[in-house]
Amino acid sequence: MINIVLEVHWSNNPMPVIDLINRPDIAFDVPLGLFTGLDAQVTSVQGKTGAVFLTAQDVGAEQLGAVEILKIYVDEQGILKADINYVDSEVNSLKSSIFVKANKVYVDQQDQLLLDQIDLKADGQAVNQVLSTKADLDESGRVPASQLPSYVDDVLDGRYINPSQFNDLNGNAYIPESGKVYVDVDTNKTYRWSGMLYVVIGGGGVALGETSETAYRGDRGKFAYDHSQSQGNPHNSTTSDITEGNREYFTQPRVRLTPMTGMSTADSSPVVATDTLLQTVGKFQAFNNNLAANVRSTALTGLNIVNATISAADNHLSAFGKLQGQISASSANPIVWVNATALTGISWSTIVDQAKTRLEYAAYQGSIYFRGYITTTSQIGSAGGSPLFTHKDPKYMCDVSFNPSQFVSFVLAKIFATAQFGQTDGQMLVCQNALNGDNQYIQSNGALAAGVYHFAPAMIGKAKS
C-alpha cells in the first residue's frame, strides 16, 4: 500500500511554516485507499460524518481565545523587555563603580586600623575577672567595712622609734602584730609589721635620709639647685685652684713658645676671619717670601710721567712718574759735546801735539762740562809755563763772579813724580777760569815731562750765558 503524507497547518499556529515542515510529528499518514479522487469529500473525521466541521477542540488545538491570550502575553513581554538606553546607563554606572573600587593599600590600612581597634577592645571575661577582685562602694561612695582588710580596722597611734620598735603615746613599746596599722603622729607615716620589721605603708609618705633608700631633704636640695644656677663666680675661684691635667691652660708664654707644627707657606692669599693661627702665620710668611717678586711684578697702574722734582710727599707711583719724566727729558735733550777746535778765540801752546790731542766742551742745563786728552812733545817748564790751551767762546765760558778770587782752578789731572802709589806730592794740570781777560785756559802748576794726559768728564763751573 502506498502512503501519502498530508501536512496540516492551522492558521492560528504561531510556529513558522519552515519549522512545521521539518517536524514529522506534525504530519500524519493517510492510507492511499481512503482517497477515491482528488475532489472527493471527507465524510468522517474523528467520529464525525457528513459535512464535517472541526473545531480546535476536535483536533486538540488551542481555542482562538487562548491564542489571543497568548498573543497579548507575548506583547506584554515585549513591553517588559529591557530598554537599550536604560541598559547602557546601568553599564556605565557599573563601570564607574568598578573604577572607583577600593584601593588595596587603603583597604589594608583600614583592616589594620580595625584590627587595632579590636585589640584595644576590652575583653569581657578579663574585665569581669578584674571587677570580681575590686571592692564595692556603698551609698556614700565608700568601701564597706566588710570588704576591708582586717588590719584597716585596727589602727594604733604612736611614735616610730626604729625598724624593730614602735611605741604608744605613753612611750611604751607595742607588741608587734601583723594585722595592725601603726601611725606615727610626728611624721604622719603609717607602718605595718612584716614579721621582722616595721615597714612603711605606701601611702604614708617617704623617709628622709642620705642613703639609697631615702629621699633627700628638700631645703638642702633647693639650696644646691639655686647655687648651681647662680651666675658669676660665687666661690671666687681662679684657674690656679683647678688641676690642669692633660688640658693645659691657655697662657701667653705658652702661646709664644708653642712650635708652629704643620704651618704651610703655600698660600699667600689675604687672611680671613675663619683662618686658624697656623693658617694666618703661614699666609703672612708666604706673603713676605713673595714680597720682592710681587713688587717687581706689580703693574704701575695709574703712572703719570712728568718732568718734575721728586719730593718727600710723593708716593712710589708719583716718584716713579717724575723720575721717568726727568730721564725722558734728558734723553730728548742729551749733552752735546763740542770739539775745542770749533770754539772761538782758541790758542795752543807750541809743545802741544794737536793731532794727538782732543779737548771737548759741553753746555748742559746751565753748567759747563769738560773732557778729553792732551799730548805734549816736550817738558813743561818748572814754573808751569804758558797755558797749554786757551779759548774765549762765550757759549762755553764759566761765570767766575760766583768766586771771590781772581780765577777758579779745577784739577783736571794729577801727575806724580814717580809711579809710586799714594805719593802725597805731585804736579797737576789745572783748568783756570780767568777773571781778567775773559778767557779760560789749561796749564800746569809745575814741571811735567812730555806725554799724554787724560781728563775725565767734569763740571767746571756755571755757564756764563
In a domain, 10, yes or no: yes
From CA 335, how far away is CA 329, in angstroms rounded?
11
Query: Per-residue confidence at 432, pLDDT binned at 50, 70, 90?
Result: low
Closest residue by Cα to residue 399 from 430, 428, 345, 363: 363
The end-to-end CA distance of the chain, in Å, is: 185
Same domain, 347 and 454: yes
Residue 290 has pLDDT above 70, yes or no: yes
Q: Does residue 423 sit within a domain? A: yes
Residue 317 within a domain: no
- The residue out of 204, 224, 254 marking a domain boundary is 204
Rg, the chain, Cα only? 75
CA–CA distance, 438 with 347 (Å, rounded to integer): 14
Set of cell numbers at residue 352: 802741544
251 within a domain of the structure (yes/no): no
Tens digits of per-residue pLDDT, 189-212? 889 998 899 998 875 556 677 777
**Per-residue pLDDT for 138 more than 70?**
yes
Residue 289 belongs to a domain: no
DSSP 231: -
Answering whether pTM is above 0.75, one says no
Choose one of 22, 41, 67: the last residue of a domain.
Answer: 67
* 3-state SS, residue 252: helix
Domain that holds residue 172: 145-204
Boundary (domain end) residue, out of 204, 237, 272: 204
The continuous run of DSSP H or E covering 278 comes out as helix 277-289
Of 6-20, 24-38, 202-216, which range is least confident? Answer: 24-38
Split into its structural domains, the chain has a count of 3
The answer to whether residues 435 and 369 touch, using CB atoms and an 8 Å cutoff, is: no
Q: Does some domain include residue 119?
A: no
Q: Per mean pLDDT, which of 70-79, 237-246, 268-277, 427-436 is the most reliable?
A: 268-277
Read off the amino acid at residue 203.
G
CA-to-CA separations, 287 to 27, 266, 278, 282, in angstroms, rounded: 131, 9, 14, 9
Assigned domain for 106 exists: no
Are residues 59 and 152 part of one domain?
no
Collapse the DSSP code of 453 into the 3-class scheme (helix H, G, I; strand E, B; otherwise coil) and give the result.
Answer: strand
Between β-strands 389-391 and 440-444, what pairing exists: parallel, antiparallel or unpaired? antiparallel
> pLDDT higher for 2 or 273?
273
256 burial (CB, 10 Å; 0-12 / 13-18 / 19+) is exposed
Mean pLDDT across the chain: 75
pLDDT of residue 300: 87
Q: Residue for cell digits 694666618?
A: 280
Residue with the three cell numbers 775773559: 438
Residue 458 sits in the same domain as residue 342: yes
Check residue 264 and give left, alpha or beta (phi > 0: left; psi -120 to 50: alpha): beta
Residue 136 domain flag? no
